[in-house]
Amino acid sequence: MASEGLRERALPAPALDEPELTLSVPHVPKLALSGRVLTRLLSISVALALFVLSLQLMKRGAAGLTPVIDALSVHGAANYIGFGWLSAYLLSSGSPVASVALTLFSRGVVSDAEAYFMISGGRLGASFIVLFVGFLYYVRGRRAPDGLYIGAVALITTALVYAAGIPLGIGLLQSGWLDGVRFGSPGVIRGVNDAYTPLVDLFAGLLPRLALFAAGVVAVVCSLKLFDAALPSLESTSPRVRRAVEFLHQRFTMFVLGVAVTVLTVSVAVSLTVLVPLSMKGIVRRRNIIPYVMGAQVGTFVDKLFVSLLLDAPRAFTIVFAEMLAVLTVSLLVLTLAFNPFREVILAAAGRATGSRRGFALFLGAIFAVPLVLLFV
């Protein structure tokens, strides 16, 4: 009887079956993870292929934009800044504007200085997407103005940095000091460009030049959107991320983080927009986002350098490098010598801009009126 009792108590423990069940479970998330990684890699590959195609389309159709520029009477520094600024609003990104400017320069439609000012305007308008995302959070959430505040900080920070960076950069470009900093397309990139020639020829045979250029603009916007969607989410509320962000809440480390995230995501729109949910969740503090924004404005030039190589226009590389060096110099000087007063001015201005409906209406009016005035002055 005692032995039967022991056998009865031992029966419920299926020692041979349990290991098979526990060993099979971990394989499911690994397969799912591998599938997600492959999907992301495929999406990124498609985005890059579409991006290269877009540059080739714009390059072939660039001459078709000349009548449009003439009709708008776009000439001089102010006009091109305003043109690039408003274009970034329409495209929700400054990267397509830079690609267009460099493409136009590579085909001789605009000068190096005009391309420089158009890129600068695109950078001034690129941060608008942060304000727009903040507005969406404001409307859909509890009407807390945090998202709007982050957008205002990003726009004001960019404007102040570029107010000093634009004249410094054009001075460097026209001084001749950077004339030796130019690179043509390596053989591999030229081979890639040549591989697109039959497809570009096909489109060129079907579309007039202006329509071909427009198709290139649509393609570059779609490629960047596809690339952004393929990137993993940067939001997280895990304790590990909180500890890491707390460690990084130093002005220079936040600056480097802004550069790194923008280089990795190849989009200042992504790297800046992520500040809205992170700030609203308390992961990133308001007072510490300014160095991050400054770093993002430096990191965004890395993909423009790549674009200049794809276009095989050595002087285009010099244009981008001059502006990148100017923005980097201004940012480092501010961070080193005048960061506290710089930060207080920006935070106070952002607070007034988002502290009331009247203040926000005036702020919105200003960020649209300024580029319009610059375009038609």
Two tokens, residue 75? 């000439």
Q: Residue 186 phi/psi, 5° resolution?
A: -60, 165
* Residue 36 lies inside a defined structural domain of this protein: no
* Residue 33 lies inside a defined structural domain of this protein: no
Two tokens, residue 41? 């890699």
pLDDT at 309: 85
- Return the axis-axis angle of helices 289-299 and 251-265, rounded to nearest 10°: 40
Compute the Cα dihedral for 29, 30, 34, 37 and give only its sign.
positive
Two tokens, residue 374? 């610059």
286-338 residue pLDDT tens: 778 899 999 999 999 988 888 888 888 889 999 999 999 999 999 999 999 99
- Return the axis-axis angle of helices 339-354 and 357-376, rounded to nearest 10°: 110
Q: Which one, of 363, 300, 333, lies nearest residue 161 by Cα?
A: 333
* Residue 363 lies inside a defined structural domain of this protein: yes
pLDDT at 272: 75
234 pLDDT more than 60: no
Of 227 and 180, more confident: 180
* Residue 348 lies inside a defined structural domain of this protein: yes
How does DSSP classify residue 181? Answer: -
pLDDT at 337: 95
Residue 238's alpha-carbon distances to 33, 36, 78, 273, in angstroms, are: 19, 21, 46, 19
375, with CB counted inside 10 A (0-12, 13-18, 19+), is buried
Average pLDDT, the chain: 80
Q: Which one, of 103, 100, 94, lies nearest residue 121 by Cα?
A: 94
147-169 residue pLDDT tens: 788 889 999 999 999 999 999 99
- Do 302 and 258 contact (CB within 8 A), yes or no? no
45-100 residue pLDDT tens: 887 788 788 888 888 887 787 787 878 788 889 999 999 999 999 887 888 899 99
260-276 residue pLDDT tens: 888 877 667 667 777 76
* Residue 20 lies inside a defined structural domain of this protein: no
d(CA 214, CA 208): 10
Q: Which one, of 16, 240, 328, 209, lies nearest residue 217 by Cα?
A: 209
13 pLDDT more than 60: no
pLDDT at 216: 86
> Mean pLDDT across the stretch 335-351?
94
pLDDT at 21: 40
d(CA 229, CA 362): 33
Half-sphere exposure of 242 (CA within 13 A, CB side): 6
In a 3-state reduction of DSSP, which class is residue 304? helix
Say if pTM beats, i.e. exceeds, 0.85. Answer: no
d(CA 69, CA 80): 10
6 pLDDT more than 50: no
Of 220 and 282, more confident: 220
Collect all residues with Cβ–Cβ distance below 8 Å to 96 and sequence separation of at least 6: 87, 122, 217, 220, 221, 224
Two tokens, residue 101? 């400017």
Give residue 277's pLDDT band: very low, low, confident or very high (50, 70, 90).
low
pLDDT at 29: 58
15-35 residue pLDDT tens: 444 444 444 444 445 555 577
* Residue 28 lies inside a defined structural domain of this protein: no
- Do 112 and 315 contact (CB within 8 A), yes or no? yes
Range of the structural domain that residue 207 is part of: 43-376
Give residue 346's pLDDT band: very low, low, confident or very high (50, 70, 90).
very high
Residue 228's alpha-carbon distances to 130, 221, 223, 257, in angstroms, are: 15, 11, 9, 18
- Count each helix (H run) and each strand (E run) in the chain, helices first: 21, 0
* Residue 254 lies inside a defined structural domain of this protein: yes
How does DSSP classify residue 319? Answer: H
What's the domain count of the chain? 1
pLDDT at 239: 59
- Do 306 and 263 contact (CB within 8 A), yes or no? no
> Mean pLDDT across the stretch 125-149?
73
43 pLDDT more than 60: yes
